[in-house]
């Protein structure tokens, strides 16, 4: 038998019958079907319009297995009912590109949300956003306590994921273990190993019916040309493919690269993409998220490559000496001065986000993703109205160019960038404005 505690009350200037009972899904379903039945957040119970002989009416509608009591409902029964029905679901959407939590907030909680770091109201979406950091997450859990709310966090990508049909089919791995082992022994970087294995795997699938070891030069040449003519791959891709084939045949079959007469394209000489100091300052000023601002500051203030930023660990920073130790290509380590401003920025970021191993941690993972950094730069450049394409490497080019304009020796810039050859660093002399600004335009000698 189910007991319902009934009581005649006046609610919102209307006489009602208050119904309190231990939570039961079937009983709730029946009560919802009663004309005028409503749940009250104030009374914390169901209630129906008042009517004479409501006792007989409820027995008739709810069945004989219900006992009606006019006694005051015990506190334990009220809490049980509240715990099942009154809890409001708070859905938080995590956008990892923007490093923000988006959520719809009950009106009576908006003042608490306003106090969170980065709190911002979006009138069109009718949602709040706050910075996605540990301090805010902890405070949100306090604001939306488990007794009154159901608290869930979903990844933005999970709600906006593409259908499986958009994903490329993954080819089974045909690459011999010896190839990877030899590259590891020769201290090739993780990215180089992954790239070469992918290129060789596709190559092996293309010739899976042939004897790879004795494959004629002409067939290899035709394969390379097909990558250019059919798939329209770049010169850079062509060079990578040739390098991968060279290493593969050398490491696995002892066949030297000179056995092939492979077409290696000439590399286009392109000037580095550089943005002005004023534009960088504008991007930093427009960045409210302290994590994003720290990433942009390190990209420009240290001239790091993308993978060097996400591989950066807290232990690599010496705050007393104000230097950063970075491991670059070929596992070569270099030391970079970071200055007072960057030291202060990193310390402020650590107080807010509390990273443990890597300086930048991803949501639900130990290490931040390179794609996240790329999107931070891309979105911020678009936000401030920059027309040219801006990438993390643009900050590295700008770092080197601005140092050169400030009179820093080219050899020192080479060390800071981690270049093996000075010829690589010399490209920045072509984009430095220092000498160009001293040239008088010949049109200035004429009268317009």
Annotated catalytic residues are 305, 329, 393, 396, 419, 428
C-alpha torsion sign, points 307, 309, 312, 317 = positive
Residue whose pair of structure tokens reads 């259908």 in the numeric block: 163
- The Cα–Cα gap between 313 and 308 comes to 10
SS3 231: coil
Give CB contacts under 8 A, 24+ apart, made by 285-288: 286/380, 286/383, 286/384, 287/380, 288/118, 288/131
Taking CA atoms, 32 is separated from 17, 47, 62, 69, 251, in Å, by 14, 10, 11, 20, 74
Question: Sign of the C-alpha dihedral, residues 360, 361, 366, 372?
Answer: negative
Q: H or E element: which one contains 46?
A: strand 45-49
Given phi > 0 = left and psi -120 to 50 = alpha, else beta, which region is 328?
Answer: beta
- 199 three-state secondary structure: helix
Residues 6+ apart with CB under 8 A from 196: 179, 183, 188, 240, 243, 244, 247, 248
């Amino acid at each position: 038998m189910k007991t319902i505690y009934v009581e005649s009350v006046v609610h919102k200037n209307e006489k009602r019958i208050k119904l309190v009972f231990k939570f039961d899904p079937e009983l709730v379903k029946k009560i919802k079907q009663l004309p005028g039945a409503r749940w009250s957040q104030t009374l914390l119970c169901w209630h129906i319009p008042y009517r004479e002989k409501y006792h007989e009416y409820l027995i008739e509608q709810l069945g004989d297995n219900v006992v009606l009591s006019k006694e005051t409902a015990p506190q334990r029964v009220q809490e049980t009912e509240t715990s099942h029905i009154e809890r409001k679901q708070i859905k938080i959407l995590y956008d990892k590109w923007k490093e923000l939590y988006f959520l719809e907030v009950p009106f009576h909680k908006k003042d608490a949300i306003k106090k969170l770091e980065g709190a911002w109201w979006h009138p069109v979406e009718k949602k709040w956003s706050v910075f996605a950091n540990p301090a805010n997450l902890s405070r949100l859990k306090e604001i939306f306590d488990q007794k009154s709310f159901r608290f869930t966090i979903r990844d933005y990508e999970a709600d906006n994921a593409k259908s499986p049909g958009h994903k490329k089919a993954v080819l089974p791995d045909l690459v011999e273990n010896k190839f990877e082992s030899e590259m590891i022994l020769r201290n090739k970087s993780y990215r180089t190993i992954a790239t070469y294995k992918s290129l060789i795997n596709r190559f092996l699938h293309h010739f899976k019916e042939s004897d790879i070891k004795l494959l004629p030069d002409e067939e290899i040449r035709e394969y390379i040309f097909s990558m250019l003519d059919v798939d329209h791959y770049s010169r850079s891709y062509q060079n990578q493919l040739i390098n991968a084939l060279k290493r593969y045949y050398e490491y696995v079959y002892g066949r030297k690269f000179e056995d092939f007469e492979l077409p290696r394209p000439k590399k286009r000489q392109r000037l580095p993409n550089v943005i002005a100091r004023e534009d960088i300052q504008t991007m930093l000023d427009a960045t409210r998220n302290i994590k994003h601002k720290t990433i942009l500051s390190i990209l420009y203030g240290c001239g790091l490559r993308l993978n060097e930023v996400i591989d950066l660990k807290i232990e690599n920073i010496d705050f007393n000496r104000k230097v950063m130790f970075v491991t670059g290509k070929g596992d070569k380590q270099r030391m970079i001065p970071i200055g007072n401003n960057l030291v202060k920025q990193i310390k402020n970021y650590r107080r807010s986000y509390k990273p443990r191993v890597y300086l930048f941690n991803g949501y639900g993972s130990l290490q931040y993703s390179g794609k996240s950094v790329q999107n931070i730069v891309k979105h911020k450049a678009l936000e401030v109205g920059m027309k040219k394409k801006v990438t993390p490497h643009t900050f590295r080019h700008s770092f080197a160019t601005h140092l050169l304009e400030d009179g820093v020796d080219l050899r020192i810039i080479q060390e800071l960038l981690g270049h093996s050859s000075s010829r690589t660093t010399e490209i920045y002399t072509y984009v430095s404005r220092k000498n160009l600004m001293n040239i008088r335009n010949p049109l200035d000698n004429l009268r317009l």
